[in-house]
Amino acid sequence: MTDMMEMGKAVLAAQPFSALLGAELTEFEPGRAGLRLVLSEDHKQQHGFAHGGVLSYLADNAITYAGGSVLGNVLTQEMKINYTRPAIGEVLIARAEVVSYGKRQAVCRCDVFALREGEELLCAAAQGTILTVETRG
């Protein structure tokens, strides 16, 4: 495991909400990030598919990881998500990449898939702007 991946997993472990959902960092390298979430009944809405908030969480966190991989300490400034189909399956997978970046911000995109019977089905597509965080003393 790379130092970058170890650091990324430590950051994820320090996020109580990510721990509550059970998210797992699967990829973290310059310009790219991936998250995985095994779906449980607690992640679903009244129709039996993953709640849109769960998909949005995965997209937001994945694009923030991707942006952070090139900028360092970051937060999401804004994000847009399009839901393309109900997320029905055993696992959700989010894959994000940096589209463009400068000194203070990165534009990133993310696709979220539901893994159902071994097939990945696109459930959401997102794009967001990630902004560096200034530490104050």
Query: What does the domain layout of the chain look like in residue ranges?
Result: 3-132
| Distances 105 to 59, 75, 80 between C-alpha atoms, Å | 17, 10, 16
pLDDT band at residue 22 under the 50/70/90 scheme:
very high
pLDDT band at residue 134 under the 50/70/90 scheme:
confident
Average pLDDT, the chain: 96
Domain spanning 3-132, CATH class: alpha beta
Q: Show Cβ contacts of residue 40 under 8 Å, excluding neighbours closer than 6 positions.
A: 22
- Distance CA(53)–CA(105), nearest Å, equals 24
Q: In 24-127, which ranges are continuous DSSP H helix?
A: 52-71
SS3 state of residue 116: strand
Residue 1 has pLDDT above 80, yes or no: no
Read off the pTM: 0.94
What is the residue type of 3?
D
Dump pLDDT digits (tens) for 84-106.
999 999 999 999 999 999 999 99
